[in-house]
Amino acid sequence: MERPVKVKVDHLTKRFGDLLVLDDVSFQVKKGEFLCIVGPTGCGKTTFLNSLTGLYDITAGSISIDGEPADLKKHSVAYIFQEYSTMPWLTVEQNVQFGLSIKREKPGTVRRQAEKYMEMVGLTPFRGYYPDQLSASMLQRVVIARAFATEPELLLMDEPYGQLDTELRYKLENELLGLWKQSGTTVIFITHNIEEAVYLGERILVLSNKPTSIKRELENPLPLPRDIAAPGFIALRQQVTDLIKWW
């Protein structure tokens, strides 16, 4: 059965003065899809996310969620930034509860949801710790658990593992895939790491250099969990690499 369209980007254009960053970008994201967007550093990937969330006014075109103009007051959207965004004065548990509290969920719901997602990412033994007592990977777990605890309809992730070493990144990526499969959340994942895009995405959008357009859309049929040494993985990774290399 064909999944319905969750996000529709239609002829999106963004200028900063005379600088054209996004040039007539159009694509769709299906409900429950894990979409990776990959492109050269500085090509405008983050500008797209900031346009979707309304942090930037778009110059032309439109972005819709479930057929309506994207509006964070109406649509449940979570955003995980490149930088760690834990609040240092709150414990792990309080950080995970924070988004639910902002949404004014009932205290019992806040506790249950936080408990559920802390357990899923291995944070329960550290619930009383503060961020300055945690490693980099644990900090990212807090941020991810906080995002999923609100059970958003759309999760935006902007290079969340860029500061981690390879071993930690794979571990957290596997946890992320587990959370995504259980929750059914639609995920748009931004990265400049080609291997990460091939490891995670059901579909990969390859962007050009600025002014940014979509160079290619690639389906990723490789079964999960993915083997980075498998011939199919290596072939798809090389295909994406070649697309980015020859802009």
Write out pLDDT tens, residues 172-196: 899 999 999 999 999 999 998 999 9
Least confident of 95-99, 168-172, 240-244: 168-172
What DSSP designation does 34 have?
A: E
Two tokens at 40? 């050269």
| 93 within 8 A of 114, measured Cβ to Cβ | yes
Which residue segments constitute the domains of the chain, with CATH numbers given?
A: 1-76+154-164+186-247 (3.40.50.300), 77-151 (no CATH)
Query: Is 209 or 81 the better-scoring residue by pLDDT?
Result: 209
**Global pTM value:** 0.93
Cα distance between residue 81 and residue 85, in whole Å: 7
Q: In this structure, are strands 19-30 and 186-191 parallel, antiparallel, or unpaired?
A: unpaired
pLDDT in tens, 122-134: 999 999 999 999 9
Reading the block at residue 55, the tokens are 């942090």
Residue with tokens 């859309």: 217
Q: Give the number of other CB atoms < 10 A from CB of residue 155.
A: 25
Q: For the segment 34-62, what is each residue's pLDDT rounded down to a tens digit?
A: 999 998 877 788 898 889 888 899 999 99
